[in-house]
Structure 1
Amino acid sequence: MNILKILNNNVAVTHDKMGQEIIVMGKGIAYQKKVGDSLDQQSIDKIYSLSNKDAFVKFQELLSEIPIDYFEVADQIINYAKLTLGKKLNESIYISLSDHIFSTISRYKEGISLRNALLWDIKRFYADEFQIGLKALQFIKESFDIQFPEDEAGFLALHIVNAETPQETQDIYRVTKIIQEISDIVRYFFQMEFDEQSVAFFRFVTHLKFFAQRLISGNLHESESDTDLLDVIKEKHPNSYQCVGKIETYIKNNYQYNLTNEEKLYLTVHIQRVVHKTNS
């Protein structure tokens, strides 16, 4: 392996056996070396091979700007998340998570801390990812001797959520906010607290996630379902349908969107299920 580019003393760009560019990381791996020099493969601790070319370039830029320690703890968190969730994560998380940890710790050293306004909802709607966020706080404590509050676990959890979907982190915040808003309308309308361990609640939140994702992306339903079926559901579950009316007004006033009959139908059904399960 010959050096193609030196990012810092601990990181370099080279080729793998297939001729693909890769990033290699190791303590002092590029110290006192220059482009074209060979690398000591025994000194390589980590290899990154990102298929997305744009992400690969951004990752190189970030590696040249921040210390290796932040990437190491981010990698530890990402591997734990993959193992826990049993799924692949978008490659962009290596960039976003490393940068986030670096920025958060930099703010901490300046005496600046941020409150997470969505913490309660992140705990409810992204429970698995939040548990990973809590574990991530342990990794950060072990590496930097800094103990962050649960607010930071929530921020870290959203990076995991973002890596599970093609959405931007900003969109994840907006999706969570919409779920929160609709859930609050239902809770206040029925004067109840959800049974958040129930399958009905899980289905309800899943439905809201997909609706919120469509709402912010503009990819909303155009077709109308059978009006007769909606009339049947409306008559069968009048309270849940009235609640949907409140949701419809809120969405129209705040997001300039009119719910279709199909959306009102499914919302009524999901609300009826979650309310019935909670009350029983």
Structure 2
Amino acid sequence: MQVERVINNNVVSAFDSKGKEVLVMGKGVGFQGKKGKEIDKKLIEKIFYLETQTEVDKFKELLANLPLEHIQVSNEIITYADKTLNRKLNPNIYITLTDHINFAIERFRQGMLFDNPLLWDVRRLYRREYLIGEYAVALIDKQIGVRLPVDEAASIALHIVNAEYSNVMSETMSITKIIPQLVEIVKTEFVIQLDEQSIRYESFVAYLKGMMQRIVNKEQLDSIDQEFIDMVKKLYPGEFACSRKIADFLTGHYPDAILAEELAMLSIHIRRLILGTRREG
């Protein structure tokens, strides 16, 4: 692999075997480098593969101006998240999370600390991602000597959620705010308390997250199986009525109505939730 352009002493751009531009990071990898020079494999710490040329250009600009240790710690966090979640993250996270971590460290050093209003919702709804956020805060403390506040664990978790579902951040934050309100509708409708540590609760919240992603991405369940829908309405009229209330609530946030089959599946998940709650009670 040969140097195409030196970004700084620690980052160069190059082309892979398929002719796609990549960014190569490593301490001293760009030192005395010039176009066409073979890259010393021993110096390579990470090769960044981004999906579009626009993303490559954005990342180049970012890497040209950030301390190497901030880039390295962000890369370690993303690698850990990949392994922990065992799912492919949108490569754009290398841009968004690296930029966020660098800014968070700068803010901390300037004494500019902000609360994250979604802290408790993120801890409840995205437990695995939040634990990765806590790992990230500890890693930043260990490697850079900056102990960020706990709110940053939630902020980092949101970036990871964003990369899991390929959302823009505003959509991820909106979903995070809305899901507790949907759970509250169910609690009010059936006059029940929910154990947030239970498997049934976690399963229900997981379904709500998936449903919200389908609504945002316009990929709702819609096989038009009217027989299935009619059966659910007949067997679980109370749950279906609750699903309707949730649908009515969501129309105030999203223009597309929830489709009938999605309502039927939501009703089944509500049924499972309240049955488990009543048995446990």
Fold similarity call, TM over 0.5: yes
For residues 209 and 189 of structure 1, the distance between their equivalents in structure 2, rounded to whole angstroms, comes to 20
Q: SS state of the match for residue 163, structure 1?
A: helix
- Provide the residue aligned with 1:116 in structure 2: 116
Aligned to 2:14: 14
Distance 1:37 1:266 in 2: 58
Q: Deviations over 1:122-159 (max 9, x none)?
A: 22221111111111111111122121222211111122
Match of 2:47, SS? strand
Code of the aligned partner of 2:270: I
Where does residue 250 of structure 2 map in the other structure? 251
Alignment of 1:227-242 (within 5 A): 228-235=230-237, 238=238, 240-242=239-241
Counterpart of 1:264 in structure 2 is: 263
The alpha-carbon deviation at position 96 of structure 1 amounts to: 1.2
Q: Which residue of 2 aligns with 1:102?
A: 102
Alignment of 1:82-231 (within 5 A): 82-220=82-220, 223=224, 225-226=226-227, 228-231=230-233
CA RMSD in angstroms, aligned pairs only? 2.7
Query: What residue identity is the alignment partner of 2:234?
Result: V
Contact 2:24 2:44 in 1 (8 A): yes
Alignment CA distance shift 1:111-1:193 (3 Å): farther
Cα offset, 1:178, TM superposition:
2.5
1:7 alignment partner AA: I
Structure 1's consecutive aligned runs of 4 or more residues displaced over 6 angstroms after TM superposition are none
Report the AA paired with residue 208 of structure 1: L
Q: Is contact 1:230–1:261 with CA below 8 Å preserved after alignment? A: no
Contact 2:7 2:64 in 1 (8 A): yes
Say whether 1:76 aligns with 2:48: no
Residues in 1 aligned to 2:258 and 2:10: alpha-carbon distance in whole angstroms: 54
Distance 1:185 1:13 in 2: 52
C-alpha change, 1:106 and 1:225, in structure 2 (3 Å) is: farther
Cα deviation, residue 109, structure 1: 2.4
Q: Which residue of 2 aligns with 1:29?
A: 29
Aligned length: 277
Q: Cα 1:220–1:21, aligned 2, differ >3 Å: closer, same or farther?
A: closer
Q: Whole-Å Cα distance in 1 between the matches of residues 52 and 159 of structure 2?
A: 18
Q: Deviations over 1:18-65 (max 9, x none)?
A: 665432222233234444445444333333344543332222221112
Q: Secondary structure at the match of 2:3?
A: coil
Q: Is the 8 A contact 2:132 2:157 kept in 1?
A: yes
Is the contact made by 1:200 and 1:270 (CA closer than 8 Å) also made in structure 2? no
Conserved? CA contact 2:233–2:240, under 8 Å: no
What's the TM-score once normalised by structure 2's chain length?
0.85
Contact 2:7 2:13 in 1 (8 A): yes
Q: Deviations over 1:171-230 (max 9, x none)?
A: 222222232220122223344332234332233223212221233334446647346424
Deviation at 1:112, TM superposition (A): 2.0
* Structure 1 unaligned residues grouped into runs of 5+: none
| C-alpha separation in 2, matches of 1:216 and 1:18 | 34
Q: 1:225 to 1:211 in 2, by over 3 A?
A: farther
Q: What is the deviation of 1:99?
A: 0.8
Higher deviation after alignment, 31-40 or 123-132: 31-40
